[in-house]
Structure 1
């Protein structure tokens, strides 16, 4: 089983990222940051995260997107602003198909969500600092095991939110 921590939109706060590292650093295999860290790409805390550039990140050394191979799965990581994710996931799904992504992780809207579209799992972990449509400051730990993806949602303060647990079936 592979565990992937997914976070987004920390907007300059290292405190939350340090909490994640302290709490989960030894238990997850990969830590993804979906943009708007508002930190320098050379900031020591980001050494632990595979981060992309969001619309509030001015350090051009961040990549616009990443394609991470995890086992036999392709994970596309992007912020989402260049794909207009606040209005539709259609453009992002086209990009996912172009790179043969199984899972797409993105942020930008600050709204927690997950859904399957055309056999691709889309995950927005919400915002670890400034959530929208809920008060909890959320992040996700995704567990991959064979064709199953188990999504655990956490609030930075209160921990796991078991009522938001989801299981998805991945194709291959």
Structure 2
């Protein structure tokens, strides 16, 4: 199972289309908020899409968090602003424990992160549009034989 993770696209549908085309064999696309409507501009016939609202998605219908089970792994998908992730992962870790998540995919900081802590993978794909670290990025998760691998892809 190959999962493309994006967040904080902020209206740049052309860049999102480019990123989707650059990753072969996508089974699922996750968008962790801030302009979730951007995914409507891409062809979704080849994969499933899950998306959650971010702080810049005011007035948009949708969920603020989603728990998705794939190949016996629970993924918590959220933007992160409601857990104050700019100040650390503590509040987000409480939510991850509550839903028994194996993986947490989030955004908001515009900084990519792949961190295993206490058996949970915290995965922030960064931003394809306005990165606040060294470069624009997305993330790829692969779930195979009960194991999860996360890769941050610089663009």
TM-score, structure 2 length as denominator?
0.89
Partner-residue secondary structure (3-state), 1:17: helix
Q: Which residue of structure 1 lines up, in the alignment, with residue 33 of structure 2? A: 35
Q: How does 1:41-120 map to 2 (within 5 A)?
A: 43-45=40-42, 49-120=49-120
Contact kept, 8 Å, 2:36 with 2:52, in 1: the verdict is: no
Runs (4+) of structure 1 moved beyond 4 Å? Answer: none
CA distance in structure 2 between the partners assigned to 1:15 and 1:27 by the alignment: 20
Alignment gaps of 5+ in structure 1: 157-172
Contact kept, 8 Å, 2:72 with 2:146, in 1: the verdict is: no
Contact kept, 8 Å, 2:83 with 2:91, in 1: the verdict is: yes
Alignment gaps of 5+ in structure 2: none
Give the Å deviation of 1:44. Answer: 4.0
CA distance in structure 2 between the partners assigned to 1:79 and 1:52 by the alignment: 7
Q: Which residue of structure 2 lines up, in the alignment, with residue 142 of structure 1? A: 141
TM-score, structure 1 length as denominator?
0.81
Q: Which residue of structure 2 lines up, in the alignment, with residue 155 of structure 1? A: 154
Write the deviation string for residues 51-70 of structure 1: whole angstroms up to 9, x where unpaired: 11000112331210111110
User: Structure 1 residues 119 and 46, CA, compared in 2 at 3 Å: closer, same or farther?
Assistant: farther
Count of residue pairs brought into register by the alignment = 152
